[in-house]
């Protein structure tokens, strides 16, 4: 149970898994190379209402990810595709993920669980965010509303720890730059100093070195993964702190 609480802190306490992330870790370790034959299916997972040691990630209509430990805590409208992680096993935490349909049970009291890739899972949130932005754009234009004011570049210091191949890392960097934020992208695979710096920050924050990239330092607040809403909250917190 202690291990479950630690992982939940990573996911929820710092908006960890309400976001898009890459399949390599903050310590520079990677998953099996593309040259290694890999299965496209995970081992079967039995999921019931009383299954212990769970982390369940659901996606809202805005494309934001939320993590809970109990099936009962997931809104009925968001139960069609829910990511499932057993904190006592490694399966389902790498390139392939478990996704369950929690809308109905089988005769044995289990929920249907299938396998998808991490890229497919990230795309679910990306498509919902895109749809929401497209819906908002016409109304904002028609009303003549101005774009949200940019943050002064010198107000907040932001560092994105990632890698050259990590798309969410670059997405986070672009997102911050569009808002006028002074952001620096550090490649933890190519820069040993950057990797050591990140490991030190994770240790101070009592976070595991296996957290997936990007890891974003917003004036001392560590966010794991790229989530526009989580970044906006962190930036507002940082701005408020700076003005006190």
For the chain, domains (ranges, CATH) are 2-27+43-123 (no CATH), 157-243 (3.40.30.10)
pLDDT of 99 over the 50 cut: yes
HEC assignment per residue over the chain: CHHHHHHHHHHHHCCCCCCECCCCECCCCCCCCCCCCCCCCCCCCCCCCCCCCEEEEEECCCCCEEEECCHHHCCHHHCCCEEEEECCCCCCCCCEEEEECCCCCCCCCCCCEEEEEHHHHHHHHHHHHHHHHHHHHHHHHHCCCCCCCCCCCCCCEEEEEECCCCHHHHHHHHHHHHCCCEEEEEECCCCHHHHHHHHHHHHHCCCCCCCECCEEEECCEEEECECHHHHHHHHHHHHHHHHC
pTM: 0.47
Percent of the chain with pLDDT over 90: 34
Q: What is the pLDDT of residue 179?
A: 86
pLDDT one-digit tens code per residue, 34-87: 444 456 889 999 999 999 999 899 988 887 778 889 999 999 999 999 999 998
Q: Higher model confidence: residue 212 or residue 75?
A: 75
pLDDT of 211 over the 90 cut: no
Q: Higher model confidence: residue 149 or residue 241?
A: 241
Q: What is the arithmetic mean of pLDDT over 187-213? A: 85
Q: What is the pLDDT of the chain when averaged over all its residues?
A: 78
Q: What is the pLDDT of residue 24?
A: 61
């Amino acid at each position: 149970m202690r291990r479950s609480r630690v992982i939940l802190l990573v996911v929820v306490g710092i908006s960890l898994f309400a976001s898009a992330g890459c399949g390599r870790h903050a310590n520079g370790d990677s998953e099996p190379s593309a040259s290694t034959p890999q299965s496209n299916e995970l081992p079967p997972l039995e999921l019931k209402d009383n299954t212990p040691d769970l982390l369940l990630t659901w996606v809202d209509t805005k494309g934001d990810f939320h993590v809970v430990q109990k099936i009962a805590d997931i809104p009925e409208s968001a139960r069609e595709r829910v990511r499932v992680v057993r904190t006592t096993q490694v399966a389902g935490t790498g390139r392939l993920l478990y996704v369950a349909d929690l809308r109905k049970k089988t005769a044995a009291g289990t929920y249907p669980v299938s396998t998808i890739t991490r890229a497919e899972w990230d795309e679910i949130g990306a498509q919902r965010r895109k749809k929401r932005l497209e819906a908002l754009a016409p109304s904002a234009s028609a009303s003549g509303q101005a774009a949200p004011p940019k943050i002064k570049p010198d107000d907040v210091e932001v560092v994105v720890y990632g890698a050259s191949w990590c798309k969410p890392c670059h997405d986070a960097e672009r997102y911050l730059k569009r808002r006028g934020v002074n952001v620096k992208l550090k490649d933890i695979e190519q820069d040993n100093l950057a990797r050591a710096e990140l490991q030190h920050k994770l240790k101070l924050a009592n976070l595991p070195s296996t957290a997936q990239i990007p890891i974003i330092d917003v004036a001392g607040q560590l966010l794991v993964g790229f989530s526009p809403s989580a970044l906006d909250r962190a930036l507002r917190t940082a701005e408020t702190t700076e003005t006190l």
